[in-house]
Amino acid sequence: MESKKMYVAVGLGFGLVAAALAYFGNPANMAICVACFIRDIAGSAKLHTAPPVQYVRPEIIGIIFGAMLMAIPRKEFAARSGSSTATRFLLGFVMMIGALVFLGCPLRMILRMSGGDLNAYVGLIGFAGGVLTGSLFLKQGYSLGKAKETKTASGLMIPGFFLALFVLFLAVPALFSVSTEGPGSFRAPILISLAGGLIFGGLAQLSAICFSGSIRDIILMKNFNRITGVLTLFVVVLIYNLVTGNFHLSFADQPIAHTEHLWNILGLYVVGFAGVLLSGCPLRQLILTGQGSSDAGVTVIGMLVGAAFAHNFGLASSGEGTTSFGRIAVILCIVLLFVIAITNRNKKASALR
């Protein structure tokens, strides 16, 4: 199944879903963004109080369950846990901080690039650099250990949590905060959002596509298959933006973006580095959660908490730029990533390479 043709087909599906979500009301250049949408869920659940970014995004629930529905018939759903769970929580937390300083996960980076946002092209430098750094540690024997099989109920816990949150949001909306302005107020209809997430999650599970993994594969194995899907996504959304008049090639005046180049680079450096240490970008963590990985599920919860922390303590950027606390946090996150990478090297494995 891992042929370039398959990845082109998956990238085409991704692009069509992203274009449809944008057309039906999701924010400009943020048709589907794992980090931003988890942040919105955190806000809606009142884990943070930033009014512009509060909404229980159906896409996230759709991605998790789309992956599950694809994994079960393919016999790839397997409840597993126990691979440095606490470290994975922390890495998820750190990855979210980096994403919110840049203002988007790698998926949104591609969507911003396809809309002509030159700041995202600058951020790509940092993302690729972070993946390269993580890949060098993989060559030195970095590993968080092997997960072990566990009870099926354990693998369903985190998906169940998000499903319960979504059902509660539909049944008792008064319990949740919902944005009336800003990015959280722009949203496609619930059924379209959910369907888009299901399709996206199913395709991502089928292909095992990963934004950090696609660059890591090039660095470590000279394998360009997965990057083909990412490039196809870029082209499809680029065409959509050109046709609809949403393509604007510039640094300034891009929707929900800032022009501080150094911090765009360093924010995505954190995301790329953490993505390799976790064996998966934010999207991949949702897919693995849908496949029954409690370790990935804990990583997603780390992202949820990280989003709340970033907004409660003024770390997240805005269209006006970064914050002093956000810049300090990115530096600390980079230091922490090196500590985790260095202390989790298997010297024997490295010696065998």
The residues that bridge with 192 in the sheet, in sequence order, are none
Residue in 103, 108, 107, 147 with CA at minimum distance from that of residue 267: 103
List phi, psi (to 5°) of 96: -70, -40
- Three-state DSSP state, 117: strand
Q: What is the pLDDT of residue 54?
A: 98
Q: How far is CA 226 from the centre of its chain?
A: 16
Query: For 274-313, how does the pLDDT look when each residue is reduced to its tens digit (9 = 90+)?
Result: 999 999 999 999 999 999 999 999 999 999 999 999 999 9
Report d(CA 149, CA 172) in Å as an integer: 36
Q: What is the pLDDT of residue 142?
A: 97
Q: What is the pLDDT of residue 346?
A: 84
| Residue 237 CB-half CA count within 13 A | 33
**Which residues in the chain come in under a pLDDT of 70?**
1-2, 347-353
Question: 0.75 cut: is pTM over it?
Answer: yes
Domains in the chain: boundaries:
4-351
- Three-state DSSP state, 33: coil
Residue in 49, 64, 144, 82 with CA at minimum distance from that of residue 349: 144
H or E segment to which residue 81 belongs? strand 80-81
Q: What is the pLDDT of residue 348?
A: 61
Report d(CA 12, CA 16) in Å as an integer: 6
Query: For 59-81, how does the pLDDT look when each residue is reduced to its tens digit (9 = 90+)?
Result: 999 999 999 999 999 999 999 99
